[in-house]
């Protein structure tokens, strides 16, 4: 019963949040900084591996200084605000385990990202341990072969 109530509460919050979204992801929001975070997504390559299963190759730029300040993850987000995670205990779609101060920008990949067939756009954002989210995000239109800062490879 508690699990059912928690799930219903989550769905309600997600529904209310989704009502605030104009369109799916307005293009101008993709290039603006939403906060003070400085982990920027600068390119995304989305490759459909099997029907509705994707691998994302995400290039992040962040002024990593070492273990005290580095980009520690990135997310793929559905239009309703749901973050796709490899398992429910993951902090991000892709956890980054160490600083990349001598490798900027850097690209890391995550496979097994399930995206429902009716979803045509996703948003990709990066996170850093000091400032959180708020850097440049990329909106990926999964129906297009390419666009500003992204490329899509589909099965068909």
Backbone φ, ψ for residue 31 (5° rounding): -105, -5
Domain 25-153: which CATH number of 2.60.40, 2.20.28, 3.40.50, 3.30.70:
2.60.40
pTM score > 0.85 for this model?
Answer: no
What's the rounded Cα separation, in Å, for the pair 93 and 73?
Answer: 7
What's the rounded Cα separation, in Å, for the pair 103 and 101?
Answer: 6
Backbone φ, ψ for residue 27 (5° rounding): -60, -40
* pLDDT tens string 39-91: 999 999 999 999 999 999 999 999 888 999 999 999 999 999 999 998 889 99
């Amino acid at each position: 019963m508690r699990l059912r109530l928690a799930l219903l509460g989550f769905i309600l919050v997600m529904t209310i949040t989704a009502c605030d979204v104009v369109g799916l992801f307005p293009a101008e929001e993709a290039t603006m900084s939403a906060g003070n975070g400085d982990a920027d997504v600068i390119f995304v390559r989305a490759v459909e591996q099997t029907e509705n299963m994707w691998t994302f190759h995400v290039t992040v730029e962040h002024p990593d200084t070492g273990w005290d300040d580095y980009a520690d993850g990135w997310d793929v987000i559905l239009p309703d605000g749901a973050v796709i995670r490899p398992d429910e205990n993951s902090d991000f779609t892709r956890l980054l385990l160490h600083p990349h101060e001598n490798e900027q920008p850097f690209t890391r990949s995550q496979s097994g990202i399930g995206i429902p067939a009716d979803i045509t756009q996703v948003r990709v954002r990066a996170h850093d341990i000091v400032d959180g989210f708020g850097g440049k995000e990329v909106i990926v239109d999964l129906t297009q072969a390419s666009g500003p800062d992204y490329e899509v490879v589909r099965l068909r």
